[in-house]
Amino acid sequence: MRFAAVTGPRLDSELPDSAAAARYVADACLVDGPLGRVGLEVEAHCHDMTVPSRRPRWEEITEVIGSLAPLPGGSRLTVEPGGAIELSGPPLDGVLAAVDAMKADQAEVRTAFADAGLGLVLLGADPLRPPKRINPGARYVAMEQFFTADRSGEAGAEMMTSTASVQVNLDAGPREGWAARVRLAHALGPTMIAMTANSPMLAGEFTGWVSTRQRVWGRMDSARCGPVLGASGDDPATDWARYALKAPVMMVRDPSETANALAVTHWVPFVDWADGRVLLGERRPTVDDLEYHLTTLFPPVRPRQWLEIRYLDSVPDELWPAVVFTLTTLLDDPVAADIAAAAVEPVSTAWDVAARIGLRDRRLYAAANACVAVAADRAPAQLADAMQRLAADVERGRCPADDFSDDVIENGLAPTVARLAQGGP
Question: Would you say 201 and 209 are in contact if contact means Cβ atoms under 8 Å apart?
Answer: no
State the pTM of this model.
0.95
240-257 pLDDT, tens per residue? 999 999 999 999 988 777
150-194 pLDDT, tens per residue? 777 789 999 999 999 999 999 999 999 999 999 999 999 999 999
**DSSP codes of every residue in 204-240:** TEE-S-SBHHHHHHHTS-HHHHS----SS-S-HHHHH
Predicted local distance difference test score (pLDDT) of residue 234: 86
340-383 pLDDT, tens per residue? 999 999 999 999 999 999 999 999 999 999 999 999 999 999 99
Other CB atoms closer than 10 Å to residue 322's CB: what's the count?
Answer: 27
First to last CA, the chain: 29
- Residues whose CB is less than 8 angstroms from the CB of residue 226 and which lie 6 or more positions away in sequence, other chains included: 299
pLDDT at position 9 over 70: no
Ordered by start, the domain boundaries in the chain are 32-251+300-420
pLDDT band at 229 (very low <50, low <70, confident <90, very high): confident
pLDDT band at 8 (very low <50, low <70, confident <90, very high): low
Please state, for a pLDDT cut of 70, what percent of the chain lies above it: 96
Q: What is the mean pLDDT of the chain?
A: 95
Domain 32-251+300-420 has CATH 3.30.590.20: yes
Element at 312 (helix H, strand E): strand 307-313
Predicted local distance difference test score (pLDDT) of residue 424: 84
Other CB atoms closer than 10 Å to residue 32's CB: what's the count?
Answer: 12
Predicted local distance difference test score (pLDDT) of residue 70: 97
What are the C-alpha distances in Å from 11 to residues 6, 242, 296, 411?
Answer: 12, 21, 17, 54
Predicted local distance difference test score (pLDDT) of residue 176: 96
Report the alpha-carbon distance of residue 386 to residue 382 in Å, rounded.
Answer: 9
